[in-house]
Amino acid sequence: MSDASLSARALQNLLGDWRGGLPGAAYLALADRVRLLVLDGRVSVDTRLPAERELADRLGVSRTTVTAAYRHLREQGYLRSLRGSGSVARIPGAPAVLPVPPAATHLDLSKAAPPALPWLAEVARDAADELPAHLGDSGFDPIGMPALRQAIADRYGVRGLPTRSEQIMVTIGAQHAIGLLARVLVGRGDRAVIEAPTYPHAYEALQLAGARLVPVPVAPHDPRFDGGVPPHGDEVEALERALARTNPSTAYLMPDFQNPTGRSLDADARRRLLDVAARQGTVVIADETTAELDIDRDRAPLPLAAYGPPGTAVLIGSLGKTVWGGVRIGWIRAEPPLIRRLLAARLPGDLGTPILEQLIATRLIGRMDEILELRRSELRAGRDRVETLIAELFPDWRVPHVDGGIAVWIGLGAPISSQLALAARAQGLLIAAGPRFGIDGAFERFLRLPICQPVAETEAAVHALRRAWESMPGVAAADAGLLPAVV
């Protein structure tokens, strides 16, 4: 069994506004929120929860409430009590240390990623035919095959950022790149600026490296709601203040079609950010996994590194959002001295990126314009259908109009995202609640809905959301006007 444990304070931060403002027994609301934390992976299986009295004192409730909540979770199979070890999180029907895969009957929109390219199998077969030419050496490749590194560098050149192959390291996906950069750039106790909300696995990697997170609010922009005012003013000023005030070693940002909000930074915002970062000595990690997924953006800015001194911005890319998540190829664009540091740090953890997948990736990057044309068509259809369906079925929800990316960040009008995600599971839909994208339980008033799925799946998902919404007691009576629309 794992030795992991969760303090009452840490669990309180994860719980956020667990009461949700809806009627019902407090112990059931608490149990439901803990259950969602386990299902979402925010509380790991086999983690020991705080003692009942300790948690009750922290939450300001009676011990009877916590006792009843824990008992309810045990009855559902989400906790088990061990003599001398307290209450330990688990998932029903699974070994204690293994998560349960989603049932085949569930529609999984918890991951905002498209299905595989229709011609991916053909490309893989062609790559396999080339594999024999590479079987004469060890196969361990910690930096990337020359042909693939050059193809990635050439792609940056097409986008307006001249790049040499020695500025590229090939990784096992974007998450691998984020974790590797965090290990190299972050010392324990260093501050790291992040957007809020943001991609959860990124801030988890920074925390694992020992970073103290400095969140800066990010909001989607939609001229229909914001009067056409550019979105960058307040956000960029907040980022500038955070960089200047906290002197962070790193900042993790998504400049294009940010996940989950969909907002993008214009050229002026990028220039301002890198100017402050260069003065502070902060390295900006720019996640570009969605950068080329335009739908109808008028003009794409250059990659972030083009707007500042060399070394100020490190770029991350991958094929996960364009080709398929199962092709585990990502990359880092950085100056050669940092590439060498990354190479030294990588070897104790892994010995390189698989050769066959690199051969596949080399072919695919050469066809990126064709790939993007297909994906943009799919994203446009998904976005337009989501906007239409939400307007019909949820007229009080706010759906900002995005001009690219993989998802929309829906304003629900009430702090009930976690309850809705739980209710959706009963309707056969897996979806990530708003707090999954923040820290300390924030963003209960928001829900991320992917737009990169086939239209038929998107329609089924929204109708499942409607059934889930109708199944939630007290939703109609909840006062949606008392809290601010953006947190």
Rounded-to-10 torsion of CA 245, 250, 253, 255: 90
pLDDT in tens, 431-451: 999 999 998 778 889 999 999
* Residue 411, both tokens: 């304003």
List 346's β-bridge partners, or say none.
none
**Mean pLDDT for the stretch of residues 106-130:** 95
Domain segments of the chain as ranges: 8-89, 107-115+370-471, 121-367
Query: pLDDT class for 224, splitting at 50, 70, 90?
Result: low
Is the pLDDT at 32 greater than 90, yes or no? no
- Sign for the CA dihedral angle at 35, 438, 212, 182 comes to positive
Average pLDDT, the chain: 89
Listing DSSP states for 95-116 in one string gives -TTSPPPPPTTSEE-SS--PPP
Q: What is the pLDDT of residue 459?
A: 97
Is the pLDDT at 346 greater than 60, yes or no? yes
The highest-level CATH class for domain 107-115+370-471 is alpha beta
Q: Looking at per-residue confidence, does 270 or 6 come out higher?
A: 270
**Mean pLDDT for the stretch of residues 111-124:** 96
Q: What is the pLDDT of residue 84?
A: 66
Q: What is the pLDDT of residue 478?
A: 37
Tell whether pTM > 0.85. Answer: no
Is the pLDDT at 321 greater than 80, yes or no? yes
Q: What is the pLDDT of residue 19?
A: 77
Percent of the chain topping pLDDT 70? 89
Q: What is the pLDDT of residue 107?
A: 93
Q: What is the pLDDT of residue 234?
A: 81
The span from the CA of 34 to the CA of 41, in Å, is 11
Q: What is the pLDDT of residue 223?
A: 54
Q: What is the pLDDT of residue 228?
A: 39
**Mean pLDDT for the stretch of residues 210-234:** 70
**Mean pLDDT for the stretch of residues 169-181:** 98
177 contact partners, CB below 8 Å, separation of at least 6: 169, 171, 316, 318, 330, 331, 332
**Mean pLDDT for the stretch of residues 75-81:** 87
**Mean pLDDT for the stretch of residues 288-292:** 98
The span from the CA of 395 to the CA of 352, in Å, is 50
**Mean pLDDT for the stretch of residues 155-184:** 98
Is the pLDDT at 100 greater than 50, yes or no? no
Q: What is the pLDDT of residue 344?
A: 96
pLDDT in tens, 82-95: 766 688 888 776 54
- The H or E element that residue 192 is part of is strand 191-196
Q: What is the pLDDT of residue 222?
A: 63
Is the pLDDT at 178 greater than 80, yes or no? yes
Is the pLDDT at 67 greater than 50, yes or no? yes
Task: Quote the DSSP letter at residue 80.
Answer: E
Task: Quote the DSSP letter at residue 260.
Answer: T
Contact 383, 402 (CB under 8 A): yes
Is the pLDDT at 40 greater than 80, yes or no? no
Q: Looking at per-residue confidence, does 235 or 310 come out higher?
A: 310
Is the pLDDT at 421 greater than 60, yes or no? yes
CATH number of 121-367: 3.40.640.10
Q: Give the CATH architecture of domain 8-89.
A: Orthogonal Bundle (1.10)
Of 16-25, 163-172, 278-287, 379-388, minimum mean pLDDT range: 16-25
* Residue 317, both tokens: 């890319």
